[in-house]
Amino acid sequence: MQINGKTYRTIWFENNIVKIIDQTRLPHRFVIKDLKTTKDSINAIKTMEVRGAPLIGATAAYGLVLSIIENNDQSFLKKSSEDLIASRPTAINLKWAVDRMMKKLSGVNNNEILKIAIDEAKAIVEEDVDFCKNIGLNGLKIIEEIAKKKKDTVNILTHCNAGWLATIDWGTATSPIYHAHKKGIKVHVWADETRPRNQGANLTSYELNEEGVPNTIIADNTGGILMQRNQVDMCIVGTDRTLSNGDVCNKIGTYLKALAAKDNNIPFYVALPSSTIDWNIKDHKDIPIEERNSEELSYVEGLDKNNKLQKVLIYPQKSKAMNLAFDVTPAKYVTGLITEKGVCEASEKGLKGLFK
Ligand code: MRU
């Protein structure tokens, strides 16, 4: 997708170095960063220089490539794989990508291992691009249907950033939106700010602006009244882990949007590639929910009058704060899952119908 009229992906491999767009610097600075070691990859995932379920999976896959370049030894590779999986707990794509890489690399002790690793990381990346494109084409049909009935701009609410910046290209939740926009269907996006890290404001609105898609940032609590006023035609969000029963784990606050959507009869869709499905966990209470540093709540960063980035404390110094990063939306509140293979009911039957 485009930034300043130039086409980018979120991650690429060049001269044995992994290149990423440092997302902690967006929207005010555009910085490409080099990852040269596994530690660099782990750090990029932990500090959220890269974030979004599919992108952290791809970064972990390249983290293993870097591990082989650093030290071509099986025990080092195994340790790297464990450290990468532990770098963020909730998004299943991370473990999925590492497991897929390790299946190819475990026990390979020859000079071919680097080539095998690079090829597999590239395959993960290309597959994600392909999946996200198809999610877009499948979701487009839903937007087209609404546009046909409404004969006016389709207003879509999204939460956090499940855009191309969270994947390699296209995004998941944004892919149907980009496809609709490219087809000339009038769409407008309500981008939930998504406290505490503001991925909706800093990343979703930013990338939609760069693609010329009309959008408006709203405070996280605004969605409800917009729904009551018929100013939301549908919601589309991404997910970090979707269980086989259709329960959807995504950025904190997603659940509340789904409740409001249900109360107002507004379709609530979740867009995901199959790499985000967890076929093992049966009860959402067993999903590891990441709890991050409370400073992400109490400090905000922005530009001052002199165009300088400043970080400031906004809470009382003595106050405690809690920062749970994800919540779970039960399947009963999800209208449908938009996947690379088609749209299905958020249920075991629906998912198995497409994938097993
Ligand atoms: O904490 P983040 O920014 O990694 O959270 C991202 C989300 O919750 C996304 O909605 C999810 O990863 C889907 S990305 C296509």
pLDDT along the chain (356 residues), means of 10: 96 98 97 98 98 98 98 96 98 98 93 96 98 98 98 98 98 98 98 98 98 98 98 98 98 98 98 98 98 98 96 98 98 98 98 95
| Alpha carbon distance 49, 55 (integer Å) | 10
Under the phi-then-psi rule, with left for phi > 0, alpha for psi from -120 to 50, and beta for the rest, what region is 283? beta
Encoding tokens for residue 150? Answer: 């409404």
Ligand 1 atom showing the smallest separation from residue 160 Cα: 10
CA 158 – ligand 1 centroid, Å: 12
Hunting for tokens 């199959």 — which residue is that?
Answer: 274
Nearest CA to ligand 1 atom 8: 251
User: Of 42, 269, 255, which Cα lies nearest the Cα of 154?
Assistant: 269
Ligand 1 atom showing the smallest separation from residue 88 Cα: 4
Question: Residue ranges of the alpha helices (H) in 212-339?
Answer: 223-228, 254-263, 295-298
Name the phi and psi angles at 228, rounded to 5. -60, -30
CA 172 – ligand 1 centroid, Å: 10
CA 225 – ligand 1 centroid, Å: 24
Angle at 11 between CA 9 and CA 14, to 5 degrees: 110
| C-alpha pair distances (Å), 88 with each of 39, 145, 248, 290 | 14, 38, 18, 7
Q: Which of 128, 192, 233, 240 is catalytic?
A: 240
CB 59 within 8 A of CB 18: yes
Hunting for tokens 């499948």 — which residue is that?
Answer: 138
Determine whether 327 is an active site residue.
no
Mutate to test the pocket of ligand 1, among 1, 48, 51, 88 (most ligand atoms within 8 A of CB): 51
Ligand 1 atom showing the smallest separation from residue 51 Cα: 4
Exposure string (b/e) for 80-93, b if CB count within 10 Å is 16 or more? Answer: bbebbbebbbbbbb
Name the phi and psi angles at 155, rounded to 5. -95, 120
Helix axes 74-86, 53-70, angle to 10 degrees: 160
pLDDT of residue 210: 98
Q: Which amino acid is at 289?
A: I
Q: Is 197 exposed, middle or buried (0-12, 13-18, 19+ CB in 10 A)?
A: buried
Query: What residues flank ligand 1, with Cβ below 6 Å?
Result: 51-54, 91, 160, 162, 166-167, 172, 199, 238-240, 250-251, 325
CB 143 within 8 A of CB 134: no
Encoding tokens for residue 346? Answer: 């958020």
Please say whether the dihedral angle defined by the alpha carbons of residues 197, 200, 204 and 206, taken in this order, is positive or negative: negative
Q: Rg of the chain's alpha carbons, rounded to an integer?
A: 20
Ligand 1 atom showing the smallest separation from residue 173 Cα: 15
Mutate to test the pocket of ligand 1, among 161, 289, 339 (most ligand atoms within 8 A of CB): 161
Nearest CA to ligand 1 atom 15: 162
Question: Residue ranges of the alpha helices (H) in 87-153?
Answer: 92-105, 113-150
CA 73 – ligand 1 centroid, Å: 33
DSSP labels, 317-350? TT-----B-EEEE-GGG--EEEETTEEE-SSHHH
The partner residues of 235 in beta bridges, in order of sequence, read 157, 268
Between strands 234-237 and 268-271, the pairing is parallel
| Alpha carbon distance 222, 207 (integer Å) | 21
Ligand 1 atom showing the smallest separation from residue 167 Cα: 15
**Does the pTM exceed 0.95?**
yes
CA 252 – ligand 1 centroid, Å: 10
CA 202 – ligand 1 centroid, Å: 13
Mutate to test the pocket of ligand 1, among 160, 167, 291, 297 (most ligand atoms within 8 A of CB): 160
Nearest CA to ligand 1 atom 5: 52
Q: How many CB atoms lie within 10 A of CB 224?
A: 16
pLDDT of residue 109: 83
CA 353 – ligand 1 centroid, Å: 26
